[in-house]
Amino acid sequence: MRFSALGDVAMTVPVLKAFLKENQGAEVYMLSNRQFEGLFQGIDRLHFLGADMRGKHKGIAGIWRIYQMVKLAADFSAVADLHGVLRTHVLRFLFRCSGKKTAVIDKGRLEKFALTRRDFKIFRPLKHSTERYADVLNEFLPTAKDALPIAISPLPASNTTIPIGFAPFAKHKAKMYNLDKFKEVVRHFDREPYKLYFFGGTPAERLLIRQWNKEFNNAVAIKENIGLEKELEIMGKLKVMVSMDSANMHLASLAAIPVVSVWGPTHPYAGFYGVGQNPLNALQLNLACRPCSVFGNKSCWRGDHACMTGIEPTAIIEKIQHALSPIEEEL
């Protein structure tokens, strides 16, 4: 069970693949938000159970309906709670009462608090989310942790164009780079041999993308509401993705595409870095106040958002060019 957010659900995919590879006789039923089904297509012995979190599965009554739906889906032996929130605590309790073995994720809240507190930080890399997921599954059957961090390298040049993905948005505003500065980065690559692809999901984000598609000569418009499966297919053709600490970093990682990621109040040390991504492709400033948040949902206590405003567009451009250098040499 893992219901949200999109990036966190995306990180379950490599773990489940590793689990199924290690345990050839096992089958997995993945319970998540129904709109995330596209993440789990084409995985042998994995079956998706979609919950309508805004409709019939909303609220307390919805939890009971989810329980009934899952009970009817299959005769399973164990329940892995990869979320650890009120909804899954209740579901886990119901399954345990019906005789199922259960296990729940250890989120490492105290470690993350020590990493992000204002004073006396304990600044060290914490366990990655994929490892925490694997620990839950290990309560039942072994999961090959060493199969998780697959190193992602630039794809070879296949033609005379270099497609680049740009995802300037994030769920929380504090994690977003200034859009006017971001446009300077995009403008640098608005020329041959580059092709520009923009990614965003909310109505406001799509509105801005429509404007950018008109503004930049080398932009390639992506049809809206195409679904995750098709979006991953498009990402798989990119040479690099440029994103914030957001879901698109994780989606591009699933597509095995190098990601240049821009980090502000959050930090890769919290355990949410893209699976298989080169740590050198993370752009961040070394400030004593960083990180101040695990999820980027807190206001800046300094008041100047220096972790983002201090990053110059030229620094992002250099990171992109470095990630693309093997491909550009081929061309």
CATH of the domain at 267: 3.40.50.2000
Same-domain pairing of 166 and 260 = yes
Looking at 242-311, list the stretches that DSSP marks H as alpha helix, in order from N- to C-terminal side. 247-254, 306-309
CA-derived radius of gyration, the chain: 21
pLDDT (0 to 100) of residue 278: 95
Sign of CA dihedral 51, 76, 9, 300: positive
Q: Which amino acid makes up residue 284?
A: Q
* Inter-CA distances, 326 with 105, 109, 188, 323, Å: 40, 40, 19, 8
pLDDT (0 to 100) of residue 144: 62
Same-domain pairing of 77 and 172 = no
pLDDT (0 to 100) of residue 329: 54
> Is 157 a domain residue?
no
- Which residue, 84, 115, 143, sits at the end of a domain? 143
Q: Which amino acid makes up residue 266?
A: T
Same-domain pairing of 184 and 52 = no
> Is 78 a domain residue?
yes
**pLDDT tens per residue, range 183-210:** 999 999 999 999 999 999 999 999 999 9
> Is 154 a domain residue?
no
pLDDT (0 to 100) of residue 152: 76
Place of tokens 């893992």: 2
> Is 207 a domain residue?
yes
Same-domain pairing of 283 and 318 = yes
Query: Are the C-beta atoms of residues 232 and 256 closer than 8 Å to each other?
Result: no
pLDDT (0 to 100) of residue 147: 54
pLDDT (0 to 100) of residue 325: 86
pLDDT (0 to 100) of residue 160: 83
CA proximity to 170, closest of 247, 92, 270: 247
The pTM is what? 0.94
Place of tokens 């039923």: 29
> Is 152 a domain residue?
no
Ranges of the chain whose pLDDT falls below 50: none
- Which residue, 81, 111, 143, sits at the end of a domain? 143
Q: Could you tell me the two tokens for 156? A: 């070879």
> Is 307 a domain residue?
yes
Q: What span, in angstroms and rounded, lies between the C-alpha atoms of 293 and 113? A: 8
| Domain region containing 92 | 6-143
**pLDDT tens per residue, range 120-172:** 999 999 999 999 999 999 999 887 665 565 677 666 666 689 999 999 999 99
